[in-house]
Structure formats: structure tokens, C-alpha cells
């Protein structure tokens, strides 16, 4: 397994280079270094000298990909792409265009993201599995059909509706919790109830329907009939027989998300005022802060690759027949 993991990690290097190249190209298709300078310097008295000084200070005074004026390897190394990308692979994210240290910001902001994403993730999976198993228990009854109708309806509603509706009802009309905000110390839970509730409810439709499909596939297997014939209770059949056998597809969809939980949610964080990495990314895009965008995409790619490796490893735990080679 060790050799497998090392090989997968080595595969990650070209993937990361590719992702970085793509991000770089997409960003500079719509923005030039001059645009970035103007965005940072403001709209008044922006002289060409000020723009040139900003570009020099922030390392954007070189060509993007090929430096025709440089000799030898310098044609590649003395470019914005090379100088900005190389540091990423050493996990040196540098400073944002407004001058803040990105590593410090990321390490500070990942915890609020996790504080929302982790409970949403765990409670969401628990609720979805429970609801799906309940529906499977009443398969082919009127309850099952209404449940599927409800799931599809819930899936069809925009995520924004859940957020604004939740804020309007729970926080504005009923005044049960603060409408937004976050406190790292003390009463953080008070601020997490609503975003977690919204996240869980918004995910029930698609999640429970997906698990129902998986469980139904297993519920028709011979071993389930055998267990029932042996007199096992329905609860026992669902949790001790069906659930473990349906784990492989569940793990495929779930484990890959675990590392990405650090990255937070763009919408939830923005609407609920959670100072996490999701809103960090959104703000960076709005303010054309390429240093942050590049770093966040890089971190996101690494976490996704890590998630895929963890998924593979989790297969061996869920099904002893699986061997990684």
C-alpha cells in the first residue's frame, strides 16, 4: 500500500502543475498586471509610474510565460508564471496583492470554515442515512412514494432560498438565533446553529434520495432475505447488513469531501458572515487578488487529491477483498 500511496503522490505533481497553469491562464485572460495594479492603487492619481512601481514591487514586471529578453533558462524562469508557481510547490504562498501574508490568513481562516463544514457534514450524513433507511424500510408503500416526491422537491429548490428563507424565518421573524456572525471563543455554537441547520436541510433531498437508491439495491439481495428468514429484526438488517454492504459507494462520495471541508462554503460563509476560507476566496476573486486565488486553487487541488487517496484507502477498510497495488 505504501508504494501505491507514493505513486499516487508523484502523480499529483503534474496534476498540480496543470491546475496551476490553467488557473494562471484563466486569470490573465481577463486581467492584466496593469489591471491588478489599478485595482490595488485605487482610481485617483494612478500614474504610469505608480503602476510600474507596484508591478515591480509585487513581481508582475516580467512577461507572463516566455521572457524573450532573457538568455538560456532565464527565458522560462524569469517569467511571472515560473516565479509565482515555484514558490507554491514549496508551500510558500507569499503575500496577497494588498500585502497580507497568505499562509497566516489561511491558517487563521480554516478553523471557522471547519467549525461550520464539519458539523454540517457529519449531521448531514447521519440525517440522510437515517431518513434513507427509514424510507427503505417502507419501500413500495405510500410513504415511500411521498418521500421520493419530497426529496425531488427539496432538490429542486435553490440553495440561496434555504439560506435566505432560514435567515428570514429563524433569525429575523422568530429571533431565535443571530442572523449572522461568528465568535471564535465562547458562544460560537449560537452562530453555527442556523448555517448548519440550513446546510443539513438543503442537503436532505439529494442526499437521502442517493442513499435510498444505494440501500434499495442492497435490500433486494439474497443475504437480506436470508437474514430476514433467520428472524433478524429490521433494525438489525438495516444497520448490520445493508449499511456495511452499501459503504463502498457511500465512501466514494463522502471521503473525498473530508479534506475539502477546510475550504469552506462560498455561499454559506458569505451570507452568514463566517470568516472562513470560502469567503476568503470569494473576496479575492472580487478584488482581483491573484496571489490568493492561485494559492487557494492550489490548496484545494492538494486537498482533493488527498481526498481521492483517502477514498482508495478507505475501500480496503470497508471491504477486505480490496487490495491496493
Site residues (CB under 8 A) for other proteins, limited to 216-275: 233-235, 238-239, 270-273, 275
In the complex, minimum distance from the CB of residue 183 to other proteins, in angstroms, rounded to a whole number: 6
Q: How far apart are CA 174 and CA 170, in angstroms?
A: 5
Q: What is the CA radius of gyration of the chain?
A: 25
In the complex, minimum distance from the CB of residue 158 to other proteins, in angstroms, rounded to a whole number: 15
**How many other C-beta atoms are found inside a 10 Å radius of the C-beta of residue 10?**
9
Joined together, the cell numbers standing for residue 271 give 451570507
Instruction: Map residue 95 onto helix, strand or coil.
Output: strand
In the complex, minimum distance from the CB of residue 271 to other proteins, in angstroms, rounded to a whole number: 5
Choose, by CB under 8 A, the member of 114, 148, 155, 193 that binds other proteins.
193
**Residues 167 to 186: which contact other proteins by CB under 8 A?**
167-183, 186
Choose, by CB under 8 A, the member of 14, 29, 222, 286 that binds other proteins.
286
Q: Which is nearer to other proteins, 34 or 319 (CB)?
A: 34
The length of the chain in residues reads 325
Query: What is the residue-wise DSSP string for 190-230?
Result: HHHHHHHHHHHHHHHHHHHHHHHHHHHHHHTSHHHHHHHHT
**Residues 78 to 97: which contact other proteins by CB under 8 A?**
95
**Site for other proteins contains 325 (CB under 8 A):** no
Q: Which is nearer to other proteins, 10 or 229 (CB)?
A: 229
Half-sphere exposure of 245 (CA within 13 A, CB side): 16
**Site for other proteins contains 187 (CB under 8 A):** yes
Count of chain residues binding other proteins (CB under 8 A): 74
Task: Say which residue the cell 489591471 belongs to.
Answer: 35
Choose, by CB under 8 A, the member of 21, 32, 86, 226 that binds other proteins.
32
Amino acid at each position: 500500500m505504501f508504494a501505491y500511496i507514493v505513486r499516487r503522490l508523484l502523480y499529483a505533481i503534474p496534476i498540480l502543475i496543470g491546475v496551476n497553469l490553467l488557473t494562471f491562464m484563466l486569470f490573465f485572460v481577463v486581467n492584466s498586471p496593469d489591471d491588478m495594479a489599478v485595482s490595488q492603487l485605487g482610481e485617483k492619481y494612478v500614474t504610469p509610474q505608480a503602476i510600474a512601481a507596484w508591478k515591480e514591487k509585487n513581481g508582475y514586471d516580467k512577461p507572463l510565460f516566455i521572457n524573450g529578453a532573457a538568455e538560456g533558462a532565464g527565458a522560462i524562469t524569469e517569467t511571472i508564471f515560473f516565479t509565482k508557481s515555484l514558490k507554491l510547490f514549496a508551500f510558500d504562498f507569499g503575500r496577497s496583492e494588498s500585502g497580507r501574508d497568505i499562509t497566516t490568513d489561511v491558517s487563521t481562516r480554516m478553523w471557522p470554515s471547519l467549525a461550520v463544514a464539519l458539523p454540517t457534514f457529519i449531521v448531514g450524513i447521519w440525517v440522510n442515512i437515517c431518513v434513507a433507511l427509514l424510507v427503505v424500510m417502507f419501500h413500495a408503500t405510500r410513504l415511500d412514494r411521498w418521500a421520493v416526491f419530497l426529496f425531488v422537491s427539496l432538490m429542486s429548490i435553490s440553495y440561496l432560498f434555504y439560506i435566505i428563507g432560514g435567515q428570514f424565518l429563524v433569525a429575523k421573524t422568530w429571533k431565535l438565533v443571530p442572523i449572522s456572525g461568528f465568535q471564535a471563543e465562547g458562544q460560537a455554537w449560537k452562530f453555527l446553529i442556523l448555517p448548519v441547520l440550513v446546510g443539513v436541510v438543503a442537503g436532505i433531498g439529494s442526499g437521502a434520495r442517493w442513499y435510498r437508491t444505494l440501500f434499495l439495491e442492497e435490500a433486494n439481495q439474497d443475504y437480506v432475505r436470508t437474514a430476514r428468514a433467520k428472524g433478524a429484526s429490521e433494525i438489525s438488517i438495516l444497520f448490520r447488513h445493508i449499511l456495511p454492504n452499501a459503504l463502498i459507494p457511500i465512501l466514494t462520495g463522502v471521503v473525498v469531501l473530508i479534506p475539502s471541508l477546510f475550504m469552506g462554503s462560498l455561499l454559506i460563509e458569505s451570507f452568514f458572515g463566517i470568516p472562513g476560507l470560502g469567503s476568503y476566496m470569494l473576496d479575492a476573486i472580487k478584488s482581483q487578488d491573484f496571489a490568493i486565488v492561485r494559492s487557494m486553487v492550489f490548496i484545494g487541488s492538494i486537498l482533493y487529491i488527498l481526498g481521492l487517496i483517502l477514498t482508495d484507502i478507505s475501500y480496503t477498510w470497508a471491504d477486505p477483498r480490496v487490495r491496493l497495488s
